[in-house]
Amino acid sequence: MNVLKVSGWKIAAFVLPCLLIYSLLVFVPILVSFYSGLLDWNGIGAAKFIGLKNFEKMLTNDSIFWPAVGRTMLLAGVSMCVQLPIALFIAILISRYVKKPNFLVSSYFLPVILSVVVIGQLWKTIYNPASMGGMLNQILESLGLNSWTHSWLTEPKIAIYSVIVVALWQYLGYHILIQFTGIQNVPSDIYEAAKIDGASGLKADRYITLPLIVPIFKISVVLSFIGSLQSFDLIMVMTGGGPAHATEVVASLMYNMSFLSMKYGYGSAIASFLVILCLAATIIINGLFSKLDKRYS
């Protein structure tokens, strides 16, 4: 076997430019955001260094911040506990019972490639009152369920759940595709051997499919959780964080503080919190799945 020997400085010469560009585009903005969180600044005029006061206010004296964190975690939790199991179930059904599954998987994936603005406007029309042509309320009224009709995006107690339903629908196909790909990569001879031993159907999925797709499922979990923490565009298109901050999440609060309330320093403090939250979530998820990897390896 021939081994290509390359000196360390040559490897560094190729890697260093990419590392510098990556650091410039990723780490430098994060550090700038942390520093901006230490300023009393509207983003245009003179900035005043105030230390950790923005962080202190954010954590102890902001009635909007912690409810926004709660809604962000609610979105992430629903995505993990509802969206991913449904995606896994559909992926297993497609891989097992559909002979030419590509078209069906592509159909589920279609909402992912649509613009968020298009999806937001589409669902706003669906959620409209029946008098304005809202399809959902019209269907409920036609079924005699008038008491179930609501102003889905303007009632504070319901609005966040209305947005979560849209987010789950939009990205369901994304996770179906990931998990379907993982299931397709499981060697078929393992299933055939298991079938000879009497393991098929749900038992085969329990003892073969699920353990072997753990690394793929981990990717789906990380993308789902981090994506939920960073959810912003759909919230802004459908509600803008309203009514009365009832659909405000951390990312939308950061935007509203930075660019609408002109509190750029405070918005940067919220952005710094979001970065720390994403890093912590990634470390925790990797730690949990490393135990599963060891168990099934």
At 195, list the tokens: 């079938």
* Residue-level pLDDT at 211: 85
- The alpha helices in the chain, defined as continuous H runs, are 8-22, 28-36, 53-60, 65-78, 84-97, 102-113, 116-127, 135-142, 156-184, 188-196, 202-204, 210-212, 214-229, 233-238, 250-255, 264-296
At 273, list the tokens: 């919190």
* Residue-level pLDDT at 297: 62
* Residue-level pLDDT at 7: 78
Would you give per-residue pLDDT tens digits along the chain (297 residues)?
A: 566 677 778 888 888 999 999 889 989 999 999 999 999 998 888 889 999 999 999 999 999 999 999 999 999 999 989 999 999 999 999 988 888 888 888 888 888 888 999 999 999 999 998 888 889 999 999 999 988 999 999 999 999 999 999 999 999 999 999 999 999 888 888 888 888 877 777 788 888 888 888 888 888 998 998 888 888 899 999 998 889 899 999 999 999 999 999 999 999 999 999 999 989 988 998 888 887 777 766
Q: Which residues contact 239 (CB under 8 A, 6 or more apart)?
A: 153, 159, 163, 246, 247
Where do the domains of the chain lie, and which CATH numbers do they carry? 56-294 (1.10.3720.10)
* Residue-level pLDDT at 13: 86
* Residue-level pLDDT at 5: 72
* Residue-level pLDDT at 14: 86
Chain-centroid distance of CA 30 in Å reads 20
Can you tell me whether residue 150 is helix, strand or coil? coil
